[in-house]
Amino acid sequence: NAGVTQTPKFRVLKTGQSMTLLCAQDMNHEYMYWYRQDPGMGLRLIHYSVGEGTTAKGEVPDGYNVSRLKKQNFLLGLESAAPSQTSVYFCASSYSRWQGNQPQHFGDGTRLSIL
């Protein structure tokens, strides 16, 4: 029972490089989310998706893009990485809020360093 799986777990990039973080969930959840976690700031929502083919901006969307081509996958892209994007990135998923306010389930995170 995998739950939410994030790949890669670690990555080091140079400023200006691009990359894509992959999130996959096997729980048939409608909603998926990308957060970043920085020391002393908790988790901040980057982008989220309420269903296949839809995406929306969260609290800190600048510098990131996302795509939800398949229900089970949610991709987070950095087009031109900047040192300020050094962080730990978490993906989460949940059933829709109309299904009993189901809580979010988190992956184990991707630790990204931008040099």
Residues that bind other proteins (CB under 8 A): 4, 31, 33, 35, 40-45, 48, 50, 56, 58-59, 90, 92, 94, 96-97, 101, 103-109
- Residue 16 CB, shortest distance to other proteins, in Å, is 28
- Residue 70 CB, shortest distance to other proteins, in Å, is 21
Using CA atoms, how far residue 2 sits from 31, 42, 48, 108, in Å, is 17, 25, 21, 11
CB closer to other proteins out of 4 and 78: 4
- Residue 90 CB, shortest distance to other proteins, in Å, is 5
- Residue 101 CB, shortest distance to other proteins, in Å, is 5
Q: Extract the tokens encoding 112.
A: 């990204």
CB closer to other proteins out of 56 and 82: 56
Q: Which of 91, 95, 96, 94 is nearest to 106 (CA)?
A: 91
Q: Strand 65-67 relative to strand 73-78: parallel, antiparallel, unpaired?
A: antiparallel
Q: Extract the tokens encoding 86.
A: 């050094």
CB closer to other proteins out of 35 and 78: 35
CB closer to other proteins out of 38 and 79: 38
Using CA atoms, how far residue 48 sits from 6, 89, 109, 115, in Å, is 15, 13, 16, 27
